[in-house]
Amino acid sequence: MTIATSTLLADGRELIYFDDGATHRPHDAVDTRPLDPRSAGNTGELRYDALTGDWVAIAAHRQTRTYLPPADQCPLCPTTGANLSEIPDSDYDVVVFENRFPSLGPAVGASPSNPEWGTLGRAFGRCEVVAFTPEHNGSFGGLSPERARTVIDAWAHRTEALSALPGVKQVFPFENRGQDIGVTLHHPHGQIYAYSYIPPRSTVMADAARRHFDAHDGTETLLGSILAKETSDGERMVAQGEHFSAFVPFAAHMPLEIHLVPHRHVPDLAALNDAERDELSSMYLDLLRRLDNLYDTPTPYIAAWHQAPLDGLYRPASRLHLQLTSPRRAADKLKFLAGSEAAMGAFINDTTPEQTAAMLREVCAEKKVTHA
């Protein structure tokens, strides 16, 4: 059982320690840094793009954020005498805290209704950082199953808590791994965004899910139906468990793309039971290790945990799932999102999903010791 201990940082931000069940510690260290109290007035703008119907968060204040600090000044390592980091204690298992340079928040509330050209709101919401381990070098794929389970419990805890904040419409845990895709801190970590609106891609997927649900009189969900088809077809399956299955989707957008789907219709990570969380811990590690073992160097990836929007229309039809993608198309080649993808949203994938699935099935899923 993961144990959560909440505290406040010097500027008033919330920080929560999540301890692996057997190693509970008191965590009474105090943040002694001379930080100015953060202000809700620092919340950025939300602007409505009338051309597309998208909201854009304008977060100019983030330009001063920490960028690839040296290891001895890492803000995610435990605090030492020489490095007063973001994490006051001298040791921890998993930690979640409010981002010091958030693109959303710290103020929370509802985004404007009936927007049109010129509609300006505040970038309400919350941005949190999740440190997966006190070890500076390493990766999620290098964690033990017990530690991965603690991270999953932390994601579930935060999903439930953030979903209850005023105005929040979507809670999104994710990890960007690798400098090639814009990581600004090396220490293994992920993030959680709580949006005051349903983001564009979630809206598209939630619309499709709701249409399918209605067309089947509420007896069948889109992701449930896709899972059944991928399972019976089998060609793109990567891993199958009792509670989850992983496959390369029929129409994969990216050179490496895996969807991990729960067999039970659950809206989010908070709704997973103990047995499901245990299996998820080992299956997720399995997938990350397969990605890393494809080549001699670690594979950059984006791990995106899609959860059901907090919206009465969409929520019943939307199912939790992971979309794990990488732009890597060879040992030394990355796919860049250029004209067709970036400007038109029209993807061209140079690999076939069937070949990618075969490659991922064949590669070793053990932890590779040569990777830092």
In the bound state with Zn ion, the residue whose beta carbon lies nearer, of 137 and 355, is 137
Residue with tokens 């950025």: 44
In the bound state with Zn ion, the residue whose beta carbon lies nearer, of 67 and 336, is 67
Distance CA 19, CA 26 (A): 10
Distance CA 62, CA 220 (A): 43
Distance CA 300, CA 62 (A): 23
The CA-CA-CA angle for residues 370, 322, 304, to 5°, reads: 80
Q: Which residue is nearest to Zn ion (CB)?
A: 74
First to last CA, the chain: 29
C-beta of 230: minimal distance to Zn ion in Å?
A: 38
C-beta of 135: minimal distance to Zn ion in Å?
A: 8
Residues 6+ apart with CB under 8 A from 211: none
In the bound state with Zn ion, the residue whose beta carbon lies nearer, of 86 and 128, is 86
In the bound state with Zn ion, the residue whose beta carbon lies nearer, of 177 and 187, is 187
Residue with tokens 């919401």: 125
- Show the binding pattern over residues 6-45: x = contacts Zn ion (CB under 5 A), - = does not: ----------------------------------------
User: Binding residues for Zn ion, how many (CB under 5 A)?
Assistant: 5
**Length of the chain in terms of residues written:** 372
Contacts (CB under 5 A) with Zn ion, residues 69-98: 74, 76-77
For the chain, counts of helices (H) and of strands (E): 6, 16
Contacts (CB under 5 A) with Zn ion, residues 161-220: 187
DSSP letters, 291-323, are HHHSSSSPPPEEEEEE---S-TTTGGG---EEE
C-beta of 77: minimal distance to Zn ion in Å?
A: 3
CA distances, 222 to each of 144, 199, 217, 261, 319 (Å): 33, 19, 12, 12, 9
C-beta of 136: minimal distance to Zn ion in Å?
A: 3
Over the range 41-64, which residues count as b (16 or more CB within 10 Å of their CB) and which as e?
eebbebbbeeeeeebebebeeeee
Contacts (CB under 5 A) with Zn ion, residues 97-156: 136
C-beta of 74: minimal distance to Zn ion in Å?
A: 3
Contacts (CB under 5 A) with Zn ion, residues 272-331: none
Catalytic status, residue 371 = no
Distance CA 202, CA 159 (A): 16
C-beta of 257: minimal distance to Zn ion in Å?
A: 29
Q: Identify the active-site residue in 186, 187, 189, 321.
A: 189
By the 8 A CB rule, do 232 and 200 touch? no
CA distances, 353 to each of 287, 329, 350 (Å): 16, 12, 10
C-beta of 71: minimal distance to Zn ion in Å?
A: 6
Distance CA 294, CA 291 (A): 6
In the bound state with Zn ion, the residue whose beta carbon lies nearer, of 79 and 299, is 79
In the bound state with Zn ion, the residue whose beta carbon lies nearer, of 147 and 187, is 187
In the bound state with Zn ion, the residue whose beta carbon lies nearer, of 138 and 316, is 138
DSSP at 110:
P
Enumerate binding residues for Zn ion (CB under 5 A).
74, 76-77, 136, 187
- Residues with a known catalytic role: 189
